[in-house]
A and B are shown apart, each in its own frame.
Chain A
Amino acid sequence: MGRKLLLEHINVPNINTFDVYRSKGGYAAVEKALKTLSPEDIVEEVKKSGLRGRGGAGFPTGMKWSFLAKPEGKPRYLVCNADESEPGTFKDRFLMTKIPHLLIEGMIIGSFALGAKTSYIYVRGEMMPQIRILEKAIAEARNAGFLGKNILGTGYDLELYVQPGGGAYICGEETALIESLEGKRGNPRIKPPFPAIAGLWGCPTVVNNVESIAAVVPIIRDGGEEYAKIGVGRSTGTKLISASGNLVKPGIYEIELGVPVEEFIYSDEYCGGIANGKRLKAVVAGGSSVPILPANLINKTINQEARLMTYESLSDGGFATGSMMGSGGFIAFDEDQCIVRNTWNFARFYHHESCGQCSPCREGTGWMEKVLHRLEYGHGKLSDIDLLVDVSRKIEGNTICPLGDAAAWPVASAIRHFRDEFEWHVTEPKFCLQRNYGLAHYADPLPKPEPVAV
């Protein structure tokens, strides 16, 4: 069993209350940080830990913190991005429901490190129970003197607020989140300026994912170097993976980065294999927006090496044969799942969630959804497949925010790896409504790559 840092005490009864959390060593990291460390030390410690943003992009958190502009006379803000709405990702909700004080502890340390006197947790509007849990936890922490004026007698003041979002996926994009927090329509801003220079109300702001902020607690408690010992290469520490789909044991797993994907799927310690004794067809490794991979590419990279659960290994091979770590939404598809239907479902989601600000994403996502719908229900043409590739290429990279890329990648990758299945939907329109394409050759071992002629 791998080391658990975030979910160590998750099964302790009433860990969501302050007293139990405190008795398990909670808030020790805050005491250590506020009493013995300077803000610069904390940032240095996080840098040393090699912690990378857990929200999707994987940008080093310590770097992000050190980029924060510190002009005189302007307040700075730390905002926690709890607008988790990516299909396939549900780790932050779990963390906030079960162990809210971990997030609050991380927020206090992070705010202290950045010099923020006011911090916000922006929670997705649909997560009303979690908002109540967080508010209760904040009240408990305030009673115990960990929030408010003069925390622990160190002279540091911090106010922590929970802000419910309006229920839009786009508000998980950091500048849209800031707009929404300011009370405006959640449209992403045009960058530059980046939030580290001008974010919330024009002041320097850092936006971090729930899990990144929670991971700061073990980093400060045990030291950044200790944290960096876990993991492989530049992927350090532990990561929460939301495993879903046709697995024997779907759920939230805290893994040490570097676990082989094959072990993660089939070992009893983790997901326990594919449900009902079926075979694996495809995996979306990091939430709906990352490229989908067929079974033969998820277990082994194109160079026949075992694929590991790390940022680097999952993206090995680029978009041609690789995927991304993303936010850790691990979705497994068994042999009876239809990739075309799944792609259509993702496209429908992005069509619904596009903010409509910039033209390629606004018009293109709807177009892709309609074409995919037609393909799924057997009314498609062979040219539709190339059309989809072309439309996705015209959206990708040409939009204000990454939602355009996120909408284009699943479609482009599904066609790249499962083109036969799309073609089958066109050539056998009757069958595609009655049965699925099946596993076909998607789990066959890959041929050894031919040596490149020198």
Chain B
Amino acid sequence: MSEIVKVSIDGIPVEVAPGTTILNAARQIGGDVVPPAMCYYSKLEGSGGKCRTCLVKVSKGSEKDPRPMPKLVASCRTTVMDGMEVQNITSPEVIEARKGIVEMLLINHPLDCPVCDQAGECSLQDLAYEHGAAKTRYEFERRKFERVDIGDKIQLHMTRCILCYRCVFVADQITDHRIHGILNRGDHSEISTYIHQAVDNDFSGNVIDVCPVGALTDKTFRFKNRVWFTKPVEAHRDCDKCCGKVTLWYKGEDVLRVTGRKDAYGEVEEFICNTCRFEQKKTADWVIEGPRNVSNDSVISSNHYGSLNLPPVVKKNLALQESNKEQLERFTRL
């Protein structure tokens, strides 16, 4: 097999290493052709394939075998072949299937975003905003669970869970003995720890970061603030357990919470330890690096950093641009 595999995704050619998945090839292109992923997490071995939001159509299998694949495939678990042609947003079939899956994910979701701590940085919220219907067709009672504390710092609210299994993989891959998993099956399956044991590990807090929805929340941050009112700042400290590189979320002078640094796909760059996450909540504990760059699309960036989006009226009117000159320059500098 050659060193480089050529594939095209929505007609955009890209060269990747053999063994890359379609999703990762699409991420190398970036932009709109990247399929959404709710369960895949590149740092977790064995994750992916479950939520089915990343389904794509393979219209040409490979150079050797040009037959299309009979079904839509999960792009996070399908490796590319040389000459493969993939359709994501150019295929109406894929868009239709994705809409269906978003609807399925939402039928048992409580939609309690107004009181959910994850709101504003929730993958399901973004996904539903992009692909979901305005109104549900589900007319039955949604499933409900009691809230459970997993350890003294993490709360599990199973009602919101979309069963992506990411936290199961985190717990499996960081602890020696398995205590965190799925109980029951079908739509009453439930993430749980075996007989209410606590997940007791220095890195257990990462289940909060990997959770794409608000099912696992930080008890030290619960109901403290909305994420878009807090200001993310990059900071680091010398930590003997982890890399110590984190994002601090400020409200005024106070650090309200500490998380890992999440990239454009909501994945943390490096896992951080519980000491950094839960104990170190004073500015004096950290070396501040600077403001975190938050994507323009995110609600968190509103009123904070990034470039100033000029109101259309200012763009047209030179006089208005002149009068706002000082402010404009400040944003250009930032």
Contact = CB atoms under 8 A, between A and B. Distances in A.
Contacts of B100: 360, 391, 393-394, 398
B103 interface: yes
A358 B77 CA distance: 13
B83 to A, nearest CB: 18
A364 to B, nearest CB: 5
A435 B208 CA distance: 54
B50 A397 contact: no
B77 A355 contact: no
5 contacts: A190-B49, A354-B186, A356-B189, A360-B52, A366-B186
Given A367-B138, A398-B55, A360 B189 contact: no
Interface stretch (B2-10, B104-112, B259-267, B272-280): B104-112
Nearest to A381: B139
Given A357-B50, A365-B187, A398 B182 contact: no
A185 interface: yes
A360 B55 CA distance: 12
Interface in A339-383: 351-360, 362-367, 370
Given A398-B97, A400-B49, A363 B185 contact: no
Nearest to B55: A398
A363 B100 CA distance: 11
B187 A366 contact: yes
Interface in B60-119: 71-72, 74, 77, 97, 100-101, 103-105, 107-108
A363 to B, nearest CB: 4
B52 A359 contact: yes
Nearest to A383: B137
A399 interface: yes
Nearest to A373: B140
Nearest to B70: A397
B181 A356 contact: no
Nearest to B79: A192
Nearest to B99: A394
A398 B54 CA distance: 11
Interface string A164-175: 000010100000
B107 A358 contact: no
Contacts of A387: 137
B105 A356 contact: no
Interface string A265-288: 000000000000000000000000
B52 A398 contact: yes
B163 interface: yes
A405 B134 CA distance: 27
A370 B143 CA distance: 13
A168 B184 CA distance: 11
In this complex, the interface size class of chain B, counting residues with CB under 8 Å from chain A, is 20 to 34
Nearest to B105: A359
Q: Is the interface of A mostly helix, strand, loop or mixed?
A: helix
A398 B72 contact: yes
Contacts of A397: 71-72
A168 B185 contact: yes
Interface string A391-408: 101100111100000000
Given A351-B186, A398-B55, A359 B162 contact: yes
Given A190-B74, A398-B101, A365 B107 contact: no
Ordered nearest first, which 7 A-B pairs have the shortest CB separation? A394-B100, A356-B189, A190-B49, A363-B104, A354-B186, A366-B187, A356-B186
Given A353-B185, A356-B187, A359-B51, 18 more contacts: A185-B182, A358-B50, A358-B52, A359-B101, A359-B104, A359-B162, A363-B104, A363-B107, A365-B187, A366-B108, A366-B186, A367-B104, A367-B107, A391-B100, A397-B71, A398-B52, A398-B97, A398-B100
A318 B189 CA distance: 35
Contacts of B108: 363, 366
Interface string B166-207: 000000000000000110111111000000000000000000
Nearest to B182: A185
A357 B164 CA distance: 8
Given A357-B50, A359-B52, A394 B186 contact: no
B40 to A, nearest CB: 11
Contacts of A357: 50, 163, 165
Contacts of A360: 52, 100-101, 104
Contacts of A170: 185
Contacts of A399: 52
B77 A365 contact: no
Nearest to A393: B100
A362 B187 CA distance: 5
Contact of B182 (A353, A356, A359, A400): A356
Given A190-B74, A398-B72, A363 B187 contact: yes
A362 B72 contact: no
B185 A354 contact: yes
Interface in B25-56: 48-53, 55
B105 A363 contact: yes
Contacts of B188: 356
Contact of A358 (B51, B97, B103): B51
Nearest to B108: A363
B187 A190 contact: no
Nearest to B49: A190
B71 A356 contact: no
Nearest to B38: A359
A20 to B, nearest CB: 42
A394 B53 CA distance: 12
A353 B107 contact: no
A241 B100 CA distance: 37
A394 B103 contact: yes
A185 B178 CA distance: 13
Contacts of B97: 394, 398
A362 B107 contact: no
**Residue with the greatest number of chain A CB neighbours at <10 A, chosen from B74, B107, B181:** B107
A353 B138 contact: no
B49 A358 contact: yes
A364 B104 CA distance: 6
Contacts of A363: 104-105, 107-108, 187
Interface in A144-171: 168, 170
A356 B161 CA distance: 12
Interface string A35-77: 0000000000000000000000000000000000000000000
Interface in B120-168: 137-138, 140, 162-163, 165
Contacts of A359: 50-53, 101, 104-105, 162-163
Nearest to B74: A190
A394 B101 contact: yes
Contacts of A353: 185-186
Contacts of A391: 100
B282 to A, nearest CB: 41
